[in-house]
Amino acid sequence: MSRFLIELQYDGTDFVGWQEQPNGRTVQGELQERLSTILRTPIKIVGAGRTDTGVHATSMIAHLDVSQELGERLPDAIYRLNRFLPPDIFVLRLQRVAPDFHARFSATSRSYGYYITLYPSPFRRKYHTLVTTPLDFEQMNEAARKLLGQHDFSSFSKKHSDVTNHLCTVTQAEWQEHCEGEWVFRITANRFLRSMVRALVGTLFEVGTGHLTPEEFATILEQADDQYPFNTAPATGLRLESVTYPPHLLLNPLFLASKK
């Protein structure tokens, strides 16, 4: 068997998330069904993580295993797959990887962007969260700096999940002005808990509106209270933007969408 990485992007608006489910349209389900049809054999695809309903990805990584014979046909199959997929999914890259590569467990970091717009716009409504209340981004960034380093993020994790380890190491957390009337919260960590980014953004909104101080935000983080009633920001503005891996696990690229 040979293992391959695929990089893809998708508009999460009409999906109930990445992970295949019995009811509802999923990114994993669409990919597996259509690639299995092209290759005429069942294909299982493993993603770098699960994005929730309505969350987008500009760079999701997944892996799949195929026989050596199918591996030789895979570049052409991916090219055909892009023509066969619905317009809200597109495969960017196919790459051979080491046998011990795992899309989820080999990842060394993940980066998300949470986009907000301060003014109503029909062109941003599907990919930005509209915030009309004035926000103090200086205070929000002071609070965001408290996230850097390793912390127990129990206070910002979805309740009743099967996760037992809530430690995450954050290397970037800041609000940046993307353009006039548009801001993005960029956060990078070695791992994320379920709904963690949306919980952080929702709580940072409280800092921005003056309902919490940066110090109170830090206290919530330090308390690691899995019963803390955080406000969850809408899924609309959230995008998975990159996943990184040790270079020695990545072998030769076989398909780049820009080359076709």
Catalytic annotation, residues: 52
Q: What is each CA distance from 186 to 35, 113, 127, 183, 200, in whole angstroms? A: 33, 5, 15, 10, 11
| Rounded Cα distance, 33 and 160, in Å | 31
Task: Give dist(CA 71, CA 211) in Å, integer.
Answer: 55
- Cβ atoms of 256 and 73 within 8 Å: the answer is no
Q: Under 8 Å CB-to-CB from 121, ≥6 apart: which residues?
A: 128
Strand, helix or coil for residue 238: strand
Determine the residue type at 196: M
Q: SS3 for 236? A: helix
- Exposed/middle/buried for 205, CB within 10 Å: 0-12, 13-18, 19+? buried
Residue 24 DSSP symbol: S
Compute the radius of gyration of the chain from its Cα atoms: 19
Name the token pair of 107: 């990842």
Place of tokens 């979805």: 158
